[in-house]
Structure 1
Amino acid sequence: MQRSSFRLSRPLRAAVYLAFVALLLTGAVLMFPERLPTSESWERIPALSRKIHGGAAMLALLVLGALTAHVKRGWKAAKNRLSGVLLLGLNTFLIATGYGLYYAADEDLRAWLIRWHGWIGLGTLVLLPAHVIVGRIIIRRLHHRKIQQRGGA
């Protein structure tokens, strides 16, 4: 099968998965610290998770920048737009609320940001795989159409 111009390169795909899996795992630890074991050795886990989450967020920003060409190609081809736009919106919200969490001084605002940043972030767990699956279905259909047009299968 010929490689689609919509598919990400392996290194970029690995970076996307690495960044977002790290964000999801550390974000879940930060959202549900009461689920951790209560021994002394686990007390440092939330602080370590915050540090890893911040680093993974920086990687995610780099990855999102690297996806610009992918977004442009998909938009021009009018393929997988709904989930793509939802992912862009979700990530924009997460970037803005992440910035707010770091700099917000008002405790009420911070509480709101923490709650929504966490729950919307967990939405990535559903939306990113859905975007990938729909994209693969679209690529497969395009490939089958090309074969049929050439008189194959």
Structure 2
Amino acid sequence: MSKAIIRLGPRHKKSLYAGFALLWLSGALWLAFHYFLRMDGEFGPEAHPLEAWWLRLHGLMAMLALALAGSLAPNHIRLAWNRRRNHRSGLPMLALTIWLAATGYALYYFSSDDNAAWLPPLHWIAGLALPLLLGLHIRRGRRRALPRVNQPQHPQQRHVAAPSYNPPARIKASS
């Protein structure tokens, strides 16, 4: 029996990349609209009308990202942990994901004037750093990965990944 592969499948990888990219983009756009694209109103600066929509999309993508992050636990995280592979970037990646989930939860349920000065930056500074740490984790993982054995190089050859079976020659019974 061959070893299970730590690498993500193509659809899983695309789902993760798309989910986390939309999460990051919606958060970055909310920051831009909240801090830099305010509109002049009758009584001074007002929130841009799209600001609330970016925040709503960010909340939706956060739920999806948590599900996607959870999908890594059974194979990717568990196998890498057991084989002691890529811990130097994997553990900080896992810690950052937990941190972002915890601070996002705190922002939603415990936001107040008392913590408005320090709680939001704890979330968005870590969130802005996510692509850097993810890129480092991916690069280190690819560099340290074991060579693919019996893996086709061309995507259309995936159905022939296993080596062909050649049964042993029949041995004639002696009389």
TM-score band (shorter)?
0.7 to 0.9
Deviating above 3 A after TM superposition, structure 1's stretches of 4 or more consecutive aligned residues are 34-40
Q: What TM-score does the superposition give when structure 2 sets the normalisation length?
A: 0.72
Q: How many residues align?
A: 140
The equivalent residue for 1:86 is 92
The equivalent residue for 1:150 is none
The equivalent residue for 2:135 is 129
Cα deviation for residue 125 of structure 1 reads 1.6
Structure 2 gap segments, 5+ residues each: 42-46, 150-175
- Partners of 1:94 and 1:110 lie apart in 2 by 16
1:117 aligns with 2:138: no
Structure 1 gap segments, 5+ residues each: 147-153
**Cα RMSD (Å) of the superposition?**
2.4
Residues 96-121 of structure 1: CA deviation (Å, up to 9, x unaligned): 00000001143222432211100001
- Partners of 1:35 and 1:110 lie apart in 2 by 18
Range with bigger deviation, 43-52 or 126-135: 43-52
Richer in helix (by share): 1
The equivalent residue for 1:63 is 68
1:100 aligns with 2:106: yes
Range with bigger deviation, 114-123 or 21-30: 21-30
Q: What TM-score does the superposition give when structure 1 sets the normalisation length?
A: 0.82
2:51 pairs, out of 41, 46, 49, with: 46
**What fraction of aligned residue pairs are identical, expressed as a percent?**
34
The equivalent residue for 1:19 is 19
Based on CA coordinates, which of the two structures has the bigger radius of gyration?
2
1:143 pairs, out of 127, 144, 147, with: 147
Higher RCO by CA contacts (8 Å cutoff, separation 6 or greater): 1
